[in-house]
Amino acid sequence: MKIRFKIIFTLLLVMHTFFGIASAHKQAVTFTVPYGNGNTIVYDLKAGLYNVYHGKTSIYSSVSSTFKIKDETISTTDKLYRKYTVVPVSDGFGKGEKYVVTLTGNNLPKIEQVFYVYPGKDFFLTQIVLSGKSLASNSIIPFSGNIPTVTGDARSVFVPFDNDTFIRYNAKEFKAPFSNVSAEVGAVYDNTTRNGYIAGSVEHEVWKTGIRTVANTQSGNKVVVWSGYTEESVTRDHIEHGEVKGDVVKSPKIFIGYYNDWRTGMEEYAKANRIAEPPIVFNWTKPTPVGWNSWGVMQEKLNYEKATKVADFFADSLSAFRTGNTAFIDLDSYWDFMLKGGLEGDYSKLKEFADYCKSKGLQPGVYWAPFTDWGWKDGPERKVAGTNYTYGETWTKVGKGYHDIDGARAVDPTHPGTLQHIDLVIGKLKECGFKMIKIDFLGHATAESTHFYDPTVTTGMQAYRKGMEYLVNKLGNQMLLYAAISPSLATGRYVHTRRIACDAFKSIDNTQYTLNSVSYGWWQTYLYNFVDADHVVLNNESEGANRARMLSAMITGTFITGDDFSVHGQWSARAMAWYQNPEIMAVIKNGKAFKPVEGNTGENASELFTQKIGNAYYVAIFNYSDNPKEFTLDFKRLGLPAQKYKVTEVLQGTNTAINVKLPAADAALYKFEFAK
């Protein structure tokens, strides 16, 4: 009896102790979330606010979240009851912890403010989750907080939603009064020290997200992450963001970090996107793609005879311009000139071209824009090939009108007419034996619409996912998928390689335009298998301008030429001399974008880029101006070791000192090999 009493007493004592701790735990005013290497989040349960510390330094303060539901805006700082729980989590980021602050109030859905943290990761992910009955919201702000004054050469980068209309990245001066909204990700940093704040969405299947950065002498500096962002000049939308509906409505997961080098932060952000939304396209394990595309010069003059002569030139005169013993010969727009009877007709000539490329040891490529109607001005009654629908039935509805951009009208990615059209064209191209496809004007599929055919789809990004998943599944694993005009981040799931900017051709201005996107978007090299600088055209430009355009592709990551090699000219002679240089091919085979040295060039491009390949360090230098320019290479700023070295200029094969003088409109690539 005494033993039984002691056991019961002991159990009661343990239970009292446990529940006492639990009660104290619930009543604690604040709790701390450790993450990364000595970083913390300190959450005030009474106020509904939290601060973020990098070591002991406050980097984000008074952070809150808000959302709109039933035309009412609710904030985590409102009069709500708050409690938190923590559970282990294991996902693509590794083993970590998930902290959930649950907020409840009268007549409100259940609100969860979620934090994901992982040891060794100097960022955290945060998200708002709403649970209830038949909820709908088109605006959630998962993160809104203050940052300290950024000293030195303070910058805030505008990142475009896509690469259409020759839009540019812009490293704007972050000085009050200032306000900037960037698409999907934002960065605020001091270009001198490179210390910087990174915030952005890592999920893009439902929401469009904007990052507002504000510098204000009275209210201070702020970073606000807003899911539900639309702006015609950026996202191309004519109406507000669609509502996300369901019994559970989630914001995307938001990446929040602070880095000693903002460039490292952007690379970590890109890698986080690829983990959060793993590609559904098959992984490309073959070498870096190289080849030719007809849009560079040939354009509407494309025909079978000219295209096969290009294949002959590659087989006979550019035989060393290869990765993995092959190159792609890609037919851009106007390949349908080779058809008889239109898209439902005879593809035999197109198949003959594909077979001819293969007979020469080359891979045939093709082009298509699956979510556009280019003939919309001819009226709505035209039949969509491969279907019983008219184009008018498939057009994306936007208020009382439609979504028109680049001369094309968007078609609903969820409409059976659009999907059956994909069945026809992709089926025929696969039968022809194509091994690469360049898909274009994908941004048309992201448009917010008044009504989608699929009633479960209510946002532009949901429609994009629906259309792209269908397209990728139809393509299977036969072709390399290359995206041209497309959303910068949301396309990572669907393609192997993506063009970094809009069309670029031959001039030094085209080179500078392309490298603006590399200067502030190079980090996408970790989101895609490859990023690409578009077709490299030499044509009749100066040797220096040719060199710069070639190098712009080399440092972006892949190399697609664009000259008309069916006829001989200055361009073909230079291509034969340059494109087969083993040192140049070694850089191309690496397949990764170079990193910019400076981030303070506004809408222009950095002049210096670096990359480590094997044991060698490469430094690319560009002079975009009309006058000669001298460059002094600062090893510390470039990230090069302070050791004895051997240096070679790769493009012209000369040795040089660290003081470089470049002619107007020219470029150079230096290879540094250091003693071990």
Give the separation between CA 433 and CA 353, rounded to whole angstroms.
10
Distance in angstroms (rounded) separating the CA atoms of residues 648 and 551: 15
How is 267-278 classified by DSSP, letter by letter?
HHHHHHHHHHS-
pLDDT band, residue 381 (cuts 50/70/90): very high
The CA distance from 424 to 430, in Å, is 10
Coil, strand or helix at 411: strand
Confidence of residue 154 (pLDDT cuts 50, 70, 90): very high
Q: Which helix (H) or strand (E) holds 427?
A: helix 416-432
pLDDT at 17 over 90: no
pLDDT for 327-379, tens place per residue? 999 999 999 999 999 999 999 999 999 999 999 999 999 999 999 999 999 99
Give the model confidence (pLDDT) of 231-289 as tens digits: 999 999 999 999 999 999 999 999 999 999 999 999 999 999 999 999 999 999 999 99
Mean pLDDT over each residue of the chain, to the nearest integer: 94
Tokens of 189: 């940093």
Residue 217 has what pLDDT? 87
For the four alpha carbons of 256, 260, 261 and 262, in that order, the dihedral sign comes to positive
pLDDT tens-digit readout, 43-58: 999 999 999 999 999 9
Report pLDDT for 401: 96
Nearest residue to 306 (alpha-carbon basis) of 294, 318, 290? 294
Distance CA 576, CA 570 (A): 10
pLDDT in the model for residue 47: 96
Return the pLDDT at 71.
Answer: 81
Task: Provide the pLDDT confidence category of residue 167 given band limits of 50, 70 and 90.
Answer: very high
Strand order in the sheet with 372-373: 372-373, 408-410, 404-405
Half-sphere exposure of 346 (CA within 13 A, CB side): 6
* Predicted pLDDT at 349: 98
| Buried b or exposed e, range 629-644, using 16+ CB within 10 angstroms | bebebeeeebebeeee
**Cα distance between residue 495 and residue 518, in whole Å:** 19
Distant-in-sequence, close-in-space partners of 503: CB < 8 Å, separation ≥ 6: 166, 295, 534
Q: Where are the beta strands (DSSP E) in 311-362?
A: 328-330
Residues 142 and 227: their CA atoms lie apart, in Å, by 8
- What CATH number should be reported for the domain whose range is 608-674? 2.60.40.1180
Question: Which tens digit of pLDDT belongs to each residue from 451-469?
Answer: 999 999 999 999 999 999 9
DSSP 658: S
Residue for token pair 């702000």: 141
- Pick 25 or 302 by higher pLDDT: 302
Mean pLDDT of 112-135: 96
State percent of the chain over pLDDT 90.
92
Q: Is 100 helix (H, G, I), strand (E, B) or coil?
A: strand
Give the number of other Cβ atoms within 10 Å of residue 113's Cβ.
23
CA-based nearest residue to 91, from 298, 277, 319, 299: 277
Closest-CA residue to 198 (of 229, 223, 161): 223
* Per-residue pLDDT at 245: 97
Strands (E), 70-206: 72-75, 81-91, 94-104, 110-117, 123-137, 140-147, 154-158, 170-173, 178-183, 185-190, 196-201
Q: Which residues pair with 52 in a beta bridge?
A: 41, 60
pLDDT at 23 over 60: no
For strand 221-227 and strand 185-190, is the pairing parallel, antiparallel, or unpaired?
unpaired
Question: What fold characterizes domain 290-499?
Answer: TIM Barrel (3.20.20)
pLDDT at 198: 98
Asked whether the predicted pLDDT for residue 22 surpasses 60, the reply is no
d(CA 170, CA 159): 7
Peptide bond preceding 177: is omega within 30 degrees of 0, i.e. cis? yes
Query: Which pLDDT band holds residue 13 (cuts at 50, 70, 90)?
Result: very low
Tell me how many degrees the CA angle 483-155-273 measures, rounded to the nearest 5: 35
User: Which one-letter amino acid corresponds to residue 618?
Assistant: Y
User: Would you say residue 112 has pLDDT above 60?
Assistant: yes
Q: Quote the distance between the C-alpha of residue 242 and its chain's center.
A: 22
* Whether 624 contacts 607, CB under 8 Å: yes
C-beta separation of 6 from 13 below 8 A: no
- Give the contacts of 579 (CB within 8 A, at least 6 positions apart): 318, 320, 321, 550, 559, 561
What's the pTM?
A: 0.94
What ranges do the domains of the chain cover? 30-276, 290-499, 608-674
What's the pLDDT at 333? Answer: 97
Average pLDDT over residues 132-143: 96
Under DSSP, the state recorded for 252 is P
For residue 580, how many other CB atoms are within 10 A of its CB?
A: 15
Q: How many CA atoms lie within 13 A of 400 on its CB side?
A: 0
CATH class of 30-276: mainly beta
User: Which residue blocks in 496-542 are alpha helix, DSSP H?
Assistant: 508-521
Q: Is the dihedral of CA 421, 484, 535, 272 positive or negative?
A: negative
CA angle 402, 407, 412 (to 5 degrees): 40
Structure tokens at 469: 């998943």
